[in-house]
Amino acid sequence: MTEFHVDTTASGIGVVRPEGRLNMVAARQLKSVLADLVAGGTHRIVVDLADTSFIDSSGLGALIGGVKSTRQQGGDLRIARPTEAVLTVLDLTNLTKILRPRDTVDGAFDD
């Protein structure tokens, strides 16, 4: 079972931290967590992947969906602290540009 911790920082950035594996079941949950944030007016989101031990193509799809929906609102979705497993998948799928990994959650929107 994958859990999602959702927080909003003082500067209004939504932080989502999935804990566990992001496979097709968890990807659906992530999609709705992200959609709820965007619908609620949070258009800058950091997905903290420090505790995400595994991601598959559906998990990637949920993240890309979040990138598109936040950008449509003038915001962005950024990922931070990916594990080795997640980095490998990003490399294999050529997604390190649209989902450029950031070193910290706090600094994810510094540039």
Partner 1 sequence: MTESSTLQALPDRLELSAPASEEMLDLVHVLLEHLWQQHEEVPVAERMRVEMAVIEILANVIEHAFEVDAGRPAADERGDGRRFTITLGVTDAEVLIDLADNGEPAAIDLSRVTMPDEDAESGRGLALALASLTDLSFHSADGRNHWSMRCDLS
Residues of the shown chain interacting with partner 1 in the complex, contacts defined by CB under 8 A: 1, 21, 23-25, 54, 56-58, 60-62, 64-65, 67-68, 84-85, 88-89, 92-95, 97-98
Question: Nearer Cβ to partner 1, position 56 or 106?
Answer: 56
Distance of CA 89 to the CA centre of its chain: 14
Question: Nearer Cβ to partner 1, position 6 or 64?
Answer: 64
Least distance between partner 1 and beta carbon 14 (Å): 20
Question: Nearer Cβ to partner 1, position 6 or 85?
Answer: 85
Measured distance CA(107)–CA(2) in Å, rounded: 25
Q: Could you please report the per-residue DSSP string of 4-59?
A: EEEEE-TTS-EEEEEEEEESHHHHHHHHHHHHHHHHTT--EEEEE-TTEEEE-HHH
Lookup: tokens for 65: 């969906």
Lookup: tokens for 17: 């931290």
Question: Nearer Cβ to partner 1, position 14 or 66?
Answer: 66
Least distance between partner 1 and beta carbon 11 (Å): 27
Least distance between partner 1 and beta carbon 106 (Å): 26
